[in-house]
Amino acid sequence: MPDLTTIWVFLAASLVLLLVPGPSVLYVSSRTLDLGARGGAMSTLGLAAGDTVQVLAATVGLSALVAANEVAFEVVKYAGAAYLVWLGVRRLMTPIMPLESEQGQVAQASGGRIFLDGLVVNALNPKSTLFFLAFLPAFVNSDQAPVWSTTLVLGLVFVVVGVLTNGAWAALSLLLRSRAQRSRGFLQAQRYVGGGVLIALAGVAVFTGTQ
């Protein structure tokens, strides 16, 4: 176990990083605007599950192997980007519905599917792999505790902070949605923005080198 000072310093650093809008914030906000409170909550939990997969992979060294193997890294990167594009295109092709019909569609949305989408997006994000490999070691002191336990504990702290910050952004998006959802113009913009954000995130995953 890392000492409490290290945990608090790491928690503060994680909070600063996660409060800045990034791909996860855009994803959660977009899904909340599309699917409402359940969409935002399940997307937040799905992203957290994906980050947990990344933390566990970093703990056992799998992330280092993927990052060191160019072919494996490219396969993961393009698989994640393709999934985002598929989600975005599916959203763009969804017809605009009256408010009552849209609410019915949202009510029928599978919470498990929304959760799985978020998990896959983060678990197949090689930028997260590189992020954890670059960020976590700065707080790991092998003289104080085993590297694996420190990596695991700090990684899970990061996941919890991510749930709180993404949840806050989802709540803010929900507030915006509740005030504007009766406008047909908003519903049309919602479709294009939601789909466009997902496709843009795929471009970010492919063409940028850092998270």
Domain ranges of the chain: 4-15+23-207
- Summarize pLDDT for 56-112 with one digit per residue, the tens: 888 887 667 666 777 766 776 677 677 778 777 876 776 655 444 444 445 456 778
User: What's the CA angle centered on 134, arms 167 and 138, to 5 degrees?
Assistant: 95
**Greater pLDDT, 76 or 128:** 128
In this prediction, residues 105-122 reach a mean pLDDT of 76
Q: Cα-flanking dihedrals φ and ψ of residue 28, to 5°?
A: -65, -40
The pLDDT-based confidence of 207 (bands split at 50, 70, 90) is low
**Considering only 37-46, 67-76, 146-155, which range has the smallest mean pLDDT?**
67-76
Q: Which helix (H) or strand (E) holds 90?
A: helix 70-92
Q: Is the pLDDT of residue 152 over 80?
A: yes
Q: Could you give the CA distance from residue 125 to residue 117 in angstroms, rounded to a whole number?
A: 12
Provide the token pair at 4.
């409490």
Residue of 183, 61, 67, 181 lying closest to 131 (CA atoms): 67
**Considering only 43-52, 67-76, 120-129, which range has the smallest mean pLDDT?**
67-76
